[in-house]
Structure 1
Amino acid sequence: MTADTLTVSCVQFTARDDDKDRNLETCLRLIDRAAAQGGQLVVLPELWTGLGYSGPDCYRAIAEPVPGPTTELLASKAREHGLHIVGSLYAEASGGGHHNLAPLIGPDGKILGSYAKTHLFDAPDRVDIPGGIRESDKVLAGDDLPVFDTELGPLGLTVCSDLRFPEVYRVLTLRGARIVVCASAFLSPRLDHWEFFIRARAAENQIFVVASGQVGTEPVSGIGFVGRSMIADPWGTVVATASDTEGVVTSRLDLGLIETMRNRYPLLDQRRPDLYKDLVS
């Protein structure tokens, strides 16, 4: 890697509610594949150790402490291949309860920090999901939008439905993020929304968005996912998309494109915060 380039990989697969060990084995195998493709930042899906959608309490059996056994497995892979790895899982929260947590692991195997999903997916009246979904019945919402200083540059983390809130990505950008990761389990058939939001968040902030997702249909719950893990550049162009199968998509990013786009069209300098007060009212 030079100062102006970075190779990123998105891992996608279907995490089963009834086989956490299988999920771990699949993910570790795909991390090896991402490393073989030159990935330096590997983005895993949301809730990749198990989705917890097949029953009201099954997430409790999937959840574990962070740091814990699963993050140690990721740490071992990070050390083996010299990777940064991030993806979300059910994690036990301090003081009780659980978070949908995305720990960021550095190439030395240490957890550089964690992001707890802030915008939970509460959609109790969706007609395409029997019984609807209320994520807030399972996990506590996070209350911060951190940007992590890494060897790869300043990195922002988001999880799935955060993607629908432009304020999240703007705050991360204003805090210095040049790459924002989205670990997702975006539900089908919302493919148009998935691509639209990724491209919009990248273009409006002139950043790279690296988004990985669950794919296929989880066999226990019967819920399907978009897949199509995707990487968009600061112009909003999709530079890589995964196929509709388990696998890895890898792309080499020209980080200099961020400054090129901002010099051509200095959107961030042209903001009018005095006009946006209603956004926080």
Structure 2
Amino acid sequence: MKISAIQMDLAFNDPVKNEEKIEQLVGDIIRKESPDTIVLPEMWNLSFYPKDVKENADKEGIRSKALLSRLSKTHQVNIVGGTVATISNGQLFNSSYQYDRMGQLIHTYHKVHLFSPSEEDKVFTPGQELGVFELDGIKVGIATCYDLRFVEWIRLLALEEIEILFVPAAWPHPRVSHWQTLLKARAIENQVFVVGVNSIGQANELKFCGHSVILDSLGEALAESAEEETILTAELDLSHRKEIKTQINVFKDRRSELYQIKKKNNRFF
């Protein structure tokens, strides 16, 4: 599978400008790269996140869904739609929409782990479901930004036998080393390809660190960026992952019966 990831400087609280830019970039990518799948960053409609996010969030995701559906159908490309701020029944979500080559919505994921240091947990409603779906018959998974820090959550995706993990993010400085290390660790320990797609630029006090990357199942970079607007493209050889799993069969050697959380003397261990 050939994947292109968009690392871009998002216009703060300006969905129209961001939509126009994404439409242009997708067209450019199709002409230059002809990928199977295009991946967007987190909160691409408003950036992460304006104080009046609830007033400007996409109602039921209608605008974002229309754009992604049209682009995927027009260009006959799968789109992993990063995330957008959406509102439904008065609840705010950090939502991701996935589209197939025919412009059909095939999966929706709401960010599960909300970043409490920025009070995301006080403003947004957390999702409740694992993000697993298929692209061109390949089982893949999605986790959003802060989700990456929760090793149990990513392992659940791996246990669903996904081949590729997509991680759209709005990851800021000064934690770029965390971003790079965690992406590589999740690839190595779960023996999956990982596509980490970050943004650049600034929103309020946050300065996003870029460094988007496409990793193979050994954690080696197939394509990587620094802190400029760019398109990353890489061809993923899924047979490579099968070879790695044969050489080091981590999942066969797991001792899952020992991995239960137990309580003793009112303490968990």
TM-score if structure 2 supplies the norm length? 0.92
2:111 pairs, out of 93, 106, 117, with 117
Map 1:1-281; keep pairs closer than 5 Å: 6-36=1-31, 37-55=33-51, 58-86=52-80, 87-93=82-88, 95-123=89-117, 133-218=118-203, 221-278=204-261
Contact 1:43 1:211 in 2 (8 A): no
Q: Which amino acid aligns with 1:232?
A: L
Q: 1:279 to 1:187 in 2, by over 3 A?
A: farther
Aligned length: 262
Q: 1:52 to 1:267 in 2, by over 3 A?
A: closer
* Cα distance in structure 1, aligned partners of 2:14 and 2:59: 18
* Cα distance in structure 1, aligned partners of 2:36 and 2:262: 36
Select between 11-20 and 99-108 the one with higher mean Cα deviation.
Answer: 11-20
* Cα distance in structure 1, aligned partners of 2:29 and 2:9: 17
* Cα distance in structure 2, aligned partners of 1:174 and 1:29: 37
* Root-mean-square deviation (Å): 1.7
Contact 2:13 2:45 in 1 (8 A): no
Q: 1:91 to 1:253 in 2, by over 3 A?
A: same
Q: 1:46 to 1:277 in 2, by over 3 A?
A: same
Contact 1:34 1:250 in 2 (8 A): no
Q: 1:266 to 1:52 in 2, by over 3 A?
A: closer
**Structure 1: gaps (5+ residues):** 1-5, 124-132
Shift of 1:104: 0.6
SS of the counterpart of 2:58? coil
Q: Which amino acid aligns with 2:242?
A: E
Partner of 1:129: none
Identity of aligned residues (%): 28
SS of the counterpart of 1:270? coil
SS of the counterpart of 2:59? coil
* Cα distance in structure 2, aligned partners of 1:59 and 1:153: 35
Shift of 1:156: 0.5
Partner of 1:127: none
Contact 2:13 2:47 in 1 (8 A): no
TM-score if structure 1 supplies the norm length? 0.89
* Cα distance in structure 2, aligned partners of 1:9 and 1:200: 22
Q: Which amino acid aligns with 1:240?
A: A
Partner of 1:126: none
Shift of 1:247: 2.1
Q: 1:46 to 1:79 in 2, by over 3 A?
A: same
SS of the counterpart of 1:278? coil
Q: Which amino acid aligns with 1:196?
A: T
* Cα distance in structure 1, aligned partners of 2:169 and 2:48: 14
**Structure 2: gaps (5+ residues):** none
Shift of 1:176: 2.0
Shift of 1:51: 2.0
Higher relative contact order (CA 8 A, sep 6+): 1
* Cα distance in structure 2, aligned partners of 1:76 and 1:34: 15
Partner of 1:3: none
* Cα distance in structure 2, aligned partners of 1:135 and 1:117: 11
